[in-house]
Structure 1
Amino acid sequence: MSRGLKVRAGVRSTSDLSRLQRLAPAADPMVFDLAGPTEQFAAALDGIDLVVHCAAYGVDYRQRDFDTGLAANVSASVRLAEAVAARGARLIHVGTSYEYGTEDGVLTEDRRLAPVGVYGVTKAAATLALQDLARRTGASLAVVRPFSMYGPLEGEHKFVPLVMAASRSGSPLDLTPGDQQRDYLYVGDVSDACLDLGSSNDFPSGEVFNLASGSGLRLRDVALAAVHAAGGDVKVLRWGAKPYRPAESMRVVGDANKIARAIGWRATTSLVTGMRLTAAADLC
């Protein structure tokens, strides 16, 4: 595996392993369920030095049940963190920029949390609960908040794969005017940040870090880069066919200076390179 690490991937017995097998064929799947009894998944953590916790409910906008989000994103995350701490390991909890809500502008980690929806609210609650756990117990955990991630084999409902698929098939895709600015980040940069942070000599327990490029890109420009990488037809993009959402944030950019100061991390993958890698993987 990259960096010479031995990687285990937590999966459910019902999980589709096709993406894992393509993206990380050397990873060793471990079958457990964070919704089950703690003792059942805690044993799977034996011998592990670092856990990167990405499991979440609500990433797919169609997942809207609050009770399920509370159980999966808050309760299960705290139980996992306690089990990791009991084994003397470190935890990187992957939060989200949605914890800031619909705030416009350049967002720093000390910006007030104003989440909306099941996903944002429960992920923000998880961050607060884990910070409290770190303060009370000394657990070695940190939280990262990625902004607009994209990359190979992303869920088909997300913006980049939607645009790529439509441009390849020739199917018209109705979009807003597309002048919103978002901070797009290639997933490989996110994984590098998690590993760099998790292996740092002076581990910043209890801290929260934005993972962002620090630059805003119009959705129009992101879509055009996706189409060009996919070799598709830009004419399928019907800009302005849909209105902006109520209270749409027009500029959401992350300030990544805190993690740069802590471990020297910066996003390095250009939009052109990231889209090329994404398109190539989706064609395999």
Structure 2
Amino acid sequence: MHKKIIDIIYESIGAANPVDLSPGEQVLDFIHIQDVVDFYKALIKQAATVPHNSTFQLGTGKGSTIKQLAATIEEASGGKTKINWGGKAYRPSDVMYAVADTELAKAVLNWSSNVSLDQGVKIF
């Protein structure tokens, strides 16, 4: 199982040596698991009224770079990350921008995320 970027960043705080990562400019939409659970609860509760073949993009609708994520984790943890930004090149498969369009979830389910990135890393 591959570690996720949040795990890697947190683990870098106590690392003896810096962790090599890409330059960290990818813009991603980080959603807290509690928001995912709340989305599915809303979807199940309103399943009968959801238009057939609806495709929901699950996220917050707000993007953060991986570098911004690391800074947010530093602030929340009080620790200093040990990351060598640019120590690895971007891979051809790296997604450089992935931010959810949450309008359909708002319109159909009256749902939006409630846990901000700042809050989420504090309860990680």
Secondary structure in 2 matching 1:184: coil
**Offset from partner CA, 1:109-157 (integer Å, 9 cap, x none):** xxxxxxxxxxxxxxxxxxxxxxxxxxxxxxxxxxxxxxxxxxxxxxxx1
| TM-superposition CA deviations, 1:241-276 (whole Å, max 9, x none) | 111112533211110111111111011211111000
- Equivalent position of 1:239 in the other structure: 85
Give the aligned partner of residue 227 of structure 1.
74
Distance in 2 between residues matched to 1:227 and 1:170, nearest whole Å: 16
Match of 1:254 among 73, 76, 100: 100
Greater percentage in strand: 1
User: After TM superposition, what 4+ stretches of structure 1 lie above 4 angstroms from structure 2?
Assistant: none
| Identical pairs, percent | 27
Note the 1:54-69 alignment, pairs <5 A: 60=1
In structure 1, distance between residues paired with 2:37 and 2:109: 14
Structure with larger Rg: 1
Q: Partners of 1:171 and 1:277 in 2: how far apart?
A: 26
What is the aligned residue count? 123
Q: Residue type of the partner of 2:4? A: K
Structure 2 CA distance for aligned equivalents of residues 159 and 221 of structure 1: 12
Match of 1:211 among 55, 58, 66: 58
TM score, norm. by length of structure 2: 0.87
Runs of 5+ unmatched residues, structure 1: 1-59, 62-156, 279-284
Unmatched runs of 5 consecutive residues or more in structure 2? none
Shift in Å at residue 169 of structure 1?
3.5
Question: 1:190, 1:170 → 2: CA distance?
Answer: 34
| 1:266 has 2:108 as partner | no
Q: Name the aligned partner's letter for residue 75 of structure 2.
A: H
Cα RMSD of the aligned pairs, angstroms, is 1.8
